[in-house]
Structure 1
Amino acid sequence: MNLVHKIEHWGDDYHSKATDVIRICLGLLILIKGITVIMSRDAVYSLLVDNDNGRFGFSGVVLAGIVHYIVFAHIVGGIFLIVGLVTRFAAVIQIPILLGAIFFVNIAKGFTIFNSELWLSIIVLLLLVMFWIIGAGPYSMDYTMRRRNNIQSE
């Protein structure tokens, strides 16, 4: 058994029910952030429009693809985190987004105590890494499916 399997096994065995409440709240937060990106079309459009002549340039096309990935990953990943379905995968697909939010978006506003978006991004990133390690708990679809497979195999 390699180190990754040992960590996953430890996370499956020593998972408290309170962390499931944190996972559900984290999933709701990420889902709301995804919906917020959809709702703020003007801000996204101003981000995508190139500075010269108001047309989409190559960077606008790349940014449009990134925005679509962010929206899809936040909505689907948030729902998966809420119900506890493929929790580790749902957490992993969120990590690059949060790293980008920390280093490219929020750090530009300054690393101060008053930059609440930066602190929220850091806390969400740490929680995502935690759920990547420990996985879903007893109040999840992962746990229900694993238990059902164990009962059927016996």
Structure 2
Amino acid sequence: MNLLQKFEYWGDRHHPKWLDIIRIALGIFLLYKGIDFLRNTSDLVSLMSLRSPFGSFLIILLGHYVTFAHILGGFFLTIGMFTRAACLIQIPILIGAIIFVNSSQDVLRPYSELFLSILILLLLIYFLIVGNGPLSVKFPEEEKKRSQK
């Protein structure tokens, strides 16, 4: 058993259920944001075009990537399936949101979205490391392998 498998085995045995509730809430929030971006795609594209150095075709592609990644990644985070992959596809989006969108706004205003973006990024990094927990969808082959250890 290599070091990564030992770490994953230890994390599976010591993962509290309240962290799964946070993962589920994060997934629902990202799913909501993805649906909101889908409804307001023109606003998202116009916001991205104001602050990014890319051409219009690439901005439209990025807008669709953001929407798709939030919907699919939020769904997978909510059910606890492909948790690390869902976090991995959303981390660049949050880094871009912090750098391009939120950094130019007034950080000290009462309802700044910069702090929310940083919190979401930190939670995504955390769940990228620890993965899903006991309240998640599990495949029968995976359960069989874990019970044999």
Tell me the TM-score range normalised by the shorter chain: 0.7 to 0.9
Give a deviation string over 1:7-52, Cα, whole Å, max 9, x none. 43332221101111100000000001111111113313534779xx
**Residue identity in the other structure for 1:38:** L
Q: 1:15 to 1:103 in 2, by over 3 A?
A: same
Q: How far does residue 142 in structure 1 lie from its aligned partner after superposition? A: 3.6
- Percent of aligned positions that are identical: 43
Q: Secondary structure at the match of 1:108?
A: coil
| CA distance in 2: counterparts of 1:134 and 1:104, whole angstroms | 28
Cα gap change, 1:46 to 1:19, in 2 (>3 Å): same
CA contact (8 A) 2:49 2:59 kept: no
How many residue pairs align between the two structures? 145
- The equivalent residue for 2:39 is 39
Structure 1 residues without counterparts, runs of 5 or longer: 51-57
Question: CA contact under 8 A between 1:10 and 1:134: conserved in structure 2?
Answer: no
The 1:109/1:5 distance shift into structure 2, 3 A limit, reads farther
Q: 2:106·2:112 contact (CA, 8 Å) conserved in 1? A: no
Structure 1 stretch displaced more, 123-132 or 40-49: 40-49
Q: Distance in 1 between matches of 2:96 and 2:22?
A: 23
Q: Quick one: structure 1 residues 112 and 15, their matched pair in 2 at CA, closer, same or farther if it must change by over 3 Å? A: same
Which segments of 5 or more consecutive residues in structure 2 lack a partner in the other structure? Answer: none
Q: Residue 45 of structure 2 contacts residue 59 of structure 2 at CA under 8 Å; is this kept in 1?
A: no
- Quote the residue 1:71 is aligned against: 67
Structure 1 residue 145, shift from structure 2 partner: 5.8
Distance 2:141 2:32 in 1: 27
**Aligned counterpart, 1:107:** 103
Do the aligned partners of 2:102 and 2:113 also contact (CA within 8 Å) in 1? yes
Residues 112 and 9 of structure 1, relative CA distance in 2, 3 Å threshold: farther
Calculate the TM-score normalised by the size of structure 2.
0.84
Q: CA–CA distance in 2 between the matches of 1:15 and 1:66?
A: 35
